[in-house]
Amino acid sequence: MTTFSFSTDAPSEVKAGVLILPVFQGPEFGPGVKETGLQQAYKDAKLTGKKGESLLVTKRNGDRFSAGAVLLHGVGERRTFDAAAMRKALGRVASSVGRFGHAATTFPQAVKGETGDLVQAAAEGLGLGAYRFDRYKSKNEQTSLKRVTLVGTGKADAKAGRQAARRAEVLVDAVSWARDLVNTPAGDLPPAALAWEAQKMAKAEGLTCKVWTEAELKKRGFGGILGVGQGSVNPPRLIELTYTGDGASTPIALTGKGIAFDSGGLSIKDAKGMETMKIDMGGAASILATMKAIARLKPKVNVVAAIPSAENMPGGAAQKPGDVIRHYGGTTSEVLNTDAEGRLILADALALLAEKKPACIIDTATLTGACMVALGTDITGAMGNDDALVDEIVKAGRATGDWIWPLPLHQEYRRLIDSNIADIKNIGDRWGGAITAAWFLAEFVGDVPWVHLDIAGPAFSEKGNDLGPKGATGVPVRALVRFVLDRAA
Ligand code: BES
Ligand code: MN
Ligand code: ZN
């Protein structure tokens, strides 16, 4: 785990393994560079502050700085350098400074804005960018960042700076946990193991946790979770978590798709399509991590989560195309394609949450390839029955850099999931698959304001990005936590 702190020490006095200082295009030296006396060295290296042009200087006798090394890092044009650009720039840097163990930076002083926001963005960049998943490597090749110090000016903003460092620490830890869960091979994380991870977290953080076993799910009629799970030797679970931060007020309700592995079931995927399907519990992981962060940040609001988990396998007892299942609450659905399984397990959880009459429901799911076609690999699709709620979540996304964009829940498409023999069927026709999937979910939320977040694209990065290596991204934990904190404020 990385720890974060805020300091108002003079840059040249900061004791860290590496001190990261910004240089704008020109070169125009950012906060702290002059004090280290390294301007000439940067110029002598023929560097101009272009994005990514950096110079690493290790400390020698007589140098005017206390850090073990100074990294003068080019960030490009000053006028386009905002908090989001800073988060990304430091994310890139973080992947190469792990060996120093302790990194410090004056970057928050280089951008206009509120100290808290800037310190948080800088800290998130360094923390998330340094993330590695090396549990399965027999030799640990890289050391990771243990400590990050955000260097600010003056005492006035010190309180905001300290709080922001703490917030970032909680968020980086939560996002990293979500990434770990998603990166873990499905063979090592069946539904019961995911539920066990949730219980351990809840105990450590002071949340209430109830895990529904297969027998209990049968008794209460969770036909969607059971139907999807029945083709696997690993039985399904439903994980219920409760956070009480505000007496008896109406809670925010959360759920996330927890398919431990999606083979497609009898409507089986091809080998390529299955390669990354351990990520199909990314929605569940994002909700678990959100609950962990909330438990630590303690906003004055109540939050309840119900997370369904099953493994979608084509075993001898698997559900068959054409089967009809009865969801929690009684709605029936015809399963024409067993690969459209996420909506089947979410339906049960949504019905359970709607029964609690919450203030709103948010679900996250790696639900459709169609959403990836629509929005690409970086953007979460948002659909819901309440425009104001969709706006609110889009704003939370923009504020945190977890990009979310609305897709229309077009009324005319509702009939595409009409079934001949049941209430609804689990696939539409060829087009608009992200929207017909959302219509399916909409059947189960009653009149509770609800938004569905399709994270099929951004849950996983094939190539790696500014804020982390190849693999799980932890999207949209930062947006969800922001949404909850904003609701509490
Ligand atoms: N888990 C997949 C969606 C997915 C695909 C997520 C690729 C991430 C990357 C989902 O269960 C699925 O198989 N969806 C089908 C639905 C179809 C059968 C209606 C899809 O999108 O093809
Ligand atoms: Mn599927
Ligand atoms: Zn799936």
346-393 per-position pLDDT tens digit: 999 999 999 999 999 999 999 999 999 999 999 999 999 999 999 999
Task: Give the mean model confidence (pLDDT) for residues 266-286.
Answer: 98
Range name among 151-160, 208-217, 238-247 with the lowest pLDDT average: 151-160
Active site residue 92: no
Residue 340 Cα to ligand 3 middle (Å): 7
CB-ligand 1 contact for 385 (6 Å cutoff): no
Residue nearest to atom 14 of ligand 1 (CA): 368
Pairing of strands 404-406, 380-384: parallel
CB-ligand 1 contact for 280 (6 Å cutoff): yes
Residue 178 Cα to ligand 3 middle (Å): 17
What is the pLDDT at residue 144? 84
What is the pLDDT at residue 174? 98
Range name among 152-161, 299-308, 417-426 with the lowest pLDDT average: 152-161
Q: Which ligand is nearest to the CA of 426?
A: 1
Spans of all domains in the chain: 3-153, 179-488
- Spell out which residues have Cβ within 5 A of ligand 2, the ion: 262, 339, 341
Residue nearest to atom 22 of ligand 1 (CA): 369
- Residue 325's nearest CA partner among 398, 425, 395, 249 is 425
Q: How far lies 448's CA from each of 99, 264, 356, 445, in Å? A: 49, 31, 10, 6
Residue 260 Cα to ligand 3 middle (Å): 9
Q: Which ligand is nearest to the CA of 263?
A: 2
Residue nearest to atom 13 of ligand 1 (CA): 339
Confidence of residue 66 (pLDDT cuts 50, 70, 90): very high
Contact 37, 64 (CB under 8 A): yes
CB-ligand 1 contact for 265 (6 Å cutoff): no
DSSP code for 320:
-
Confidence of residue 157 (pLDDT cuts 50, 70, 90): confident
Residue 433 Cα to ligand 1 middle (Å): 9
Residue nearest to atom 5 of ligand 1 (CA): 369
Q: Of all residues in the chain, what percent carry a pLDDT higher than 70?
A: 100
CB-ligand 1 contact for 337 (6 Å cutoff): yes
What is the pLDDT at residue 226? 99
CB-ligand 1 contact for 180 (6 Å cutoff): no
Q: How far lies 442's CA from each of 293, 386, 445, in Å? A: 28, 11, 6
- Active site residue: 15, 51, 78, 269, which one? 269
- Active site residue: 162, 343, 425, 482, which one? 343
Question: Tokens in use for 234?
Answer: 């690993």
Q: Which CATH class is domain 179-488?
A: alpha beta
Type and span of the H or E element at 39:
helix 39-44
Q: Which residues of 254-293 are buried (b: 16+ CB within 10 A; e: fewer)?
A: bbbbbbbbbbbbbbebeeeeeebbbbbbbbbbbbbbbbbb
CB-ligand 1 contact for 365 (6 Å cutoff): no
Tell me which residue has tokens 């990194």.
103
Residue 426 Cα to ligand 3 middle (Å): 13
Range name among 117-121, 124-128, 140-144, 403-407 with the lowest pLDDT average: 140-144
Question: Tokens in use for 113?
Answer: 């804005």
**pLDDT averaged over every residue in the chain:** 97
What is the pLDDT at residue 88? 98
CB-ligand 1 contact for 435 (6 Å cutoff): no
What's phi and psi for 305, nearest 5 deg? -125, 140
DSSP helix, strand, coil percent of the chain (3-state; round to 5): 40, 20, 40
The span from the CA of 487 to the CA of 479, in Å, is 12
DSSP string, 116-176: HHHHHHHHHHHHHHT----TT-SS-------EEEEE--SSTTHHHHHHHHHHHHHHHHHHH
Task: Give the mean model confidence (pLDDT) for residues 325-340.
Answer: 99
Q: Which mutation among 267, 319, 339, 439 tests ligand 1's pocket best, with the greatest number of atoms within 8 A of CB?
A: 339
Residue 277 Cα to ligand 1 middle (Å): 9
Beta bridge partners of 151: 7
CB-ligand 1 contact for 342 (6 Å cutoff): yes
Determine the atom of ligand 1 nearest the C-alpha atom of 337.
Answer: 18
Give Cα 219 to chain centroid, integer Å.
33
CB-ligand 1 contact for 152 (6 Å cutoff): no
- Position 156 pLDDT exceeds 70: no
Beta-carbon-side half-sphere exposure of residue 142 (alpha carbons within 13 Å): 15
Task: Give the mean model confidence (pLDDT) for residues 213-235.
Answer: 99
Task: Give the mean model confidence (pLDDT) for residues 235-252.
Answer: 97
Q: Which ligand is nearest to the CA of 273?
A: 1
pTM of the model: 0.98
CB-ligand 1 contact for 346 (6 Å cutoff): no
Determine the atom of ligand 1 nearest the C-alpha atom of 459.
Answer: 8
Q: Of all residues in the chain, what percent carry a pLDDT higher than 90?
A: 97
Confidence of residue 153 (pLDDT cuts 50, 70, 90): confident
Active site residue 269: yes
Per residue in 251-271, pLDDT (tens digit) is 999 999 999 999 999 999 999
For the beta carbon of residue 485, count every other beta carbon within 10 angstroms.
17
What is the pLDDT at residue 182? 99
Per residue in 117-139, pLDDT (tens digit) is 999 999 999 999 999 999 999 99
What is the pLDDT at residue 63? 94
What is the pLDDT at residue 140? 74
Confidence of residue 422 (pLDDT cuts 50, 70, 90): very high
Question: Tokens in use for 374?
Answer: 């629509």
- Position 49 pLDDT exceeds 70: yes
Type and span of the H or E element at 215:
helix 214-220
The span from the CA of 476 to the CA of 483, in Å, is 11
| CATH architecture type of domain 3-153 | 3-Layer(aba) Sandwich (3.40)
Residue nearest to atom 17 of ligand 1 (CA): 340
- Residue 24's nearest CA partner among 56, 51, 57 is 51
